[in-house]
Structure formats: C-alpha cells, structure tokens
Amino acid sequence: MKKLFIALFVLLLVACSQNPKGVVEAYYNNLDNGEITEAYKLMSKQLTGQAGEQKIRAMLQEQAKGMQKKGGIVSLATEGEAKGEIGEFTVHIVYKDGTKKDDKVSVTKEADGWKISLR
C-alpha cells in the first residue's frame, strides 16, 4: 500500500510540473510536509543559479519551520494565471493556528516544466 501511495505521489508531482498552478501548490505542500529536496526541485534554474543551492535550501528550511510552528497548512487556494512562459499567482494560506497569509509567486516555463522563479 505504501509503495502505491508513493507511486501516485510521484505521478502527481510529474503531472503538476506541466501545470503552473499545480507547481505552486506542490511547492507549498512540499514545504508543509518538510520535503525540502522536492521543493528545491521546483525552483527555476535562474533562481538557483543566482542565489546558490545552499542559500536556497536554507531559505526553504526556514519556510518549512515557520509552517510547522503554525501547525501546518489547513487550506491553500491559488489564483492567477500564466501567459506564454511566465505566470503570476497569489496563494492564500490558512494555517492550523488560525493565521492567514497571502504570498505572491512567479513561475516560468523551462524545458522540464514549470518552475518557481524570480519576478
């Protein structure tokens, strides 16, 4: 059963990389689950090249810790759109401790799918 769940999860992540909104949601879900490596894989080459892997991973770790302190994500709503090879989204997050947060997220289309990018 566990192998089936893992296979479905991997399939979902691959499918999400073709959908800009799905990439944004997968990014936040990975952070919420403490999956830093998976969140890092969703970052654009421009972003990782500019800031460097070590700095990006440290930032992702801090974001994940912040989410854990709030009890994790209760709900996640994403609005926005992609035009051509770039997109802008607003993510509305509600945490288990009752706090809410809105994040602005940019995405760009790369050869291997949509990625989180700089504005």
Mean pLDDT of all residues in 11-26:
73
Architecture of domain 2-117 in CATH? Roll (3.10)
Residue 12 CA to residue 14 CA, distance in Å, equals: 5
| Residue range 27-84, pLDDT digits in tens | 999 999 999 999 999 999 999 999 999 999 999 999 999 999 999 999 999 999 999 9
Q: Which residues contact 44 (CB under 8 A, 6 or more apart)?
A: 107, 108, 110, 115, 116, 117, 118
Question: Is the predicted pLDDT of residue 105 greater than 70, yes or no?
Answer: yes
Residue 1 CA to residue 20 CA, distance in Å, equals: 30
Report the 10 Å Cβ neighbour count for 91: 19
Looking at residue 5, what is its pLDDT?
45
